[in-house]
Structure 1
Amino acid sequence: MLTVDFARLPVGPGVRVLDLGCGGGRHAFEVLRRGADVIAFDMDQAELDNVANMFAAMDKAGEVPPDASGRTVQGTALDMPFEDGSFDRVIAAEVLEHIPDDMAAMAEIFRVLRPGGTAAITVPSFLPERICWALDEAYHTAPGGHVRIYTLAELSAKLKATGFEIGPHHHAHGLHSPYWWIKCAVGVNNDDHPLAKAYHELLVWDIMKRPAATRIAEAVLNPIIGKSVVLYVKKP
């Protein structure tokens, strides 16, 4: 399940990409499939071990184009171990809402991106996120959880103040917002609730099969209740 639109963030052979806060590696895997050189960066070494194993499995299965590379690096978004201008592209998907000093992280993204490079920044959309916070306090108070709700205007203003040129944006995952509202309504940690389980099975089916009906439904819902907003910015 990709949040970033790679038509707006083109990657390919010879392009150096940082997947900041890579988590399970979903964007890093797609970058590698497209032939770019990607570093999956995260604080969680266990997640990085799984990503490294998948990189190796992809290579063994012949899914990695010639000369493309994928590796993992552990660290913090507030002090990344990379030289200035190391990357042509940076992906920061659902990261900034976890970081108290988000502008320090934005400054690090700006630093490691080369002049003329592009970053894709994704955060939870305001309305779906606000509803989740209202329904269940545990959704955002758990350790490592979300510390703020962004409006698109706030996110754009902070990135502009960091030095970025603000580009286009879009919303994603309109079908996922109702799932999280259900989860928060029944208890965000209550994975066994029948309604939550049924909706989760629907989402898994949709991700695997991608039928036309749900693709159309999500395209309609994205601008209204898309779970994520994606903003593309450029370093001058």
Structure 2
Amino acid sequence: MLTVDFDKLGVQPGQRVLDLGCGAGRHAFELYRRGADVIAFDQDVAELENVAAMFAAMKAENQVPDGAAAQTVSGDALALPFPDEHFDCVIASEIMEHVPEDEKAMRELVRVVKPGGRVVVTVPRAWPEKICWALSDEYHQVEGGHVRIYSADELIGKLRDAGLRPAFRHYAHALHSPYWWLKCAVGTDNDDHPLPKLYHRMLVWDLMKGPWITRTAERLLDPVMGKSIAVYLGKPGSARAGA
């Protein structure tokens, strides 16, 4: 399940791309399939071991183009272990809402992007997220959980202050909003309740089969109740020759 629209992002084979806070690696895997030189970055070392294993399996099964490269790096988003202007593109998907010092993380993100480079940041959309918070303290009051709810204006304003120029935005995963409302209503740890369990089966069916009815419904509902907002931005300046 991808939150980022890679066609809109415009990643090209051979470009150096950072997946910041990669988690289970869903965006990193797509970057690798598209021929990027991808670094999957996260502080969770155990999760990165799984990502590295998937990278190796993808290569072994010839799922990636010749010349594509992928590696995992662990560390702190507030002090990225990369030189200035190192990446053509940075993805930060569903991470900023977890970071208390989000503006510092944004400045680090901007530091490592080349002039003329592209950035996409995704976070939970404000109003569906507020319902989750209202229904359940467990949803966000956990270690490593969500520490804030962004309005679109707040998110874009902070990214602009960090040195990026917003280009466009879209919303994603409308069908997932009701699932999380159900989970929050019955208890986020209540995996046996029939309502979210049945809804989850529908989401898995949609992910595996991509039927026209759910794909059409989500496309129509995303602008109204998409669970995530994705903001695409650029770093002012021109890429250096030979960089």
Partner of 2:80: 80
- 1:86-165 equivalences under 5 Å are 86-165=86-165
TM-superposed CA distance for 1:12, in Å, is 2.4
Determine if contact 1:93/1:121 at 8 Å carries over to the other structure: yes
Task: Report the 3-state secondary structure (helix = DSSP H, G, I; strand = E; otherwise coil) of the residue aligned with 2:53.
Answer: helix
Root-mean-square deviation (CA, aligned residues, Å) is: 0.5
Aligned partner of 1:59: which letter?
A: K
Residue aligned with 2:84, SS:
coil
Q: Which runs of 5+ in 2 are unaligned?
A: 237-243
The 5 Å alignment of 1:1-236 reads 1-236=1-236
Give the superposition deviation at 1:220.
1.1
Q: Secondary structure at the match of 1:48?
A: helix
Runs of 4+ in 1 over 3 A off after TM superposition: none
**Percent identity (aligned):** 60
Alpha-carbon distance, 1:218 to partner: 0.1
Q: How many matched pairs?
A: 236
AA at the equivalent of 1:222: D
Counterpart of 1:187 in structure 2: which amino acid?
Answer: G
Residue deviations 1:34-56 (CA, integer Å, cap 9, x gap): 01100000000011000000000
Task: Give distance in 2, aligned partners of 1:26 and 1:214.
Answer: 21
Alpha-carbon distance between aligned partners in 2 of 1:109 and 1:44, rounded to the nearest angstrom: 18
TM-score, structure 2 as length reference: 0.96
CA distance in 2, matches of 1:191, 1:105: 34
Separation in structure 2 between the aligned mates of residue 33 and residue 11 of structure 1, nearest angstrom: 11
Question: How many angstroms does 1:215 deviate by?
Answer: 0.6
Deviation of residue 19 (structure 1)? Answer: 0.2
Unaligned stretches of 5+ in structure 1? none
Report how far residue 7 of structure 1 moved.
Answer: 1.3
- The alpha carbon displacement at 1:8 in A equals 1.2
